[in-house]
Amino acid sequence: MEITLALLKPHVLRNTYALRQLKALIASNFDVLQAKEVRITKEISECFYAEHKGKFFYQRLTSFMQSGPCYALILQSESCIQKWRQLMGPTKVFRAVYTEPDSIRALYGLSDTRNACHGSDSEASAMREIGILFPEFDVTRIRSSQ
């Protein structure tokens, strides 16, 4: 069993319908180990998106993530990382709309920055990102039970 960090971005939380649909989709596909609304501070956004520092969209991305509450989840299933990324669709919303029209980003993404959701891209990223948003969660408990 694998775990991943899923994050629903601020504009999704402002859309009650989208939030309800996505929670139902997640519950039918994964075991939700933890879930909470989080305020992404400047410090958290800079740490979370450190690998993008210096890119043209970095400022836009970090300030958008601070613009309202996000919803963070720790998901578990077989091939969880790949499965959540498949449900999200491509990062770029125009590509999602054309290639994966039923994906979350195609349905609820507004732009490349406001692309509705995030998912860890590897096991190492999942551990790092869970550590940032769920510092109280003991990832070694999952590892030792595998």
According to the annotation, is 39 in a ligand binding site? no
Given the complex with ligand CMP, which of 21 and 125 has the nearer CB atom? 125
Binding marks (x or -) toward ligand CMP, 21..40, rule CB under 6 A? --------------------
Catalytic residue among 118, 119, 130, 133: 118
* Residue 113 touching ligand CMP (CB under 6 A): yes
Using a CB cutoff of 8 Å and minimum separation of 24, what contacts does 48-57 make?
Answer: 48/129, 48/132, 48/133, 57/112, 57/113
11: annotated active-site residue: no
DSSP symbols for 41-103: -HHHHHHHTGGGTTSTTHHHHHHHHTSS-EEEEEEEETTHHHHHHHHH--SSHHHHHHH-TTS
Out of 6, 26, 61, 87, which residue is the one contacting ligand CMP (CB under 6 A)?
61
Binding marks (x or -) toward ligand CMP, 116..145, rule CB under 6 A? --x---------------------------
d(CA 42, CA 134): 17
Out of 80, 103, 115, 134, which residue is the one contacting ligand CMP (CB under 6 A)?
115
* Residue 91 touching ligand CMP (CB under 6 A): yes
Burial class of residue 124 (count of CB atoms within 10 Å of its CB; 0-12, 13-18, 19+): exposed
Q: Which residues bind to ligand CMP, rule: CB under 6 A?
A: 52, 57, 61, 91, 112-113, 115, 118
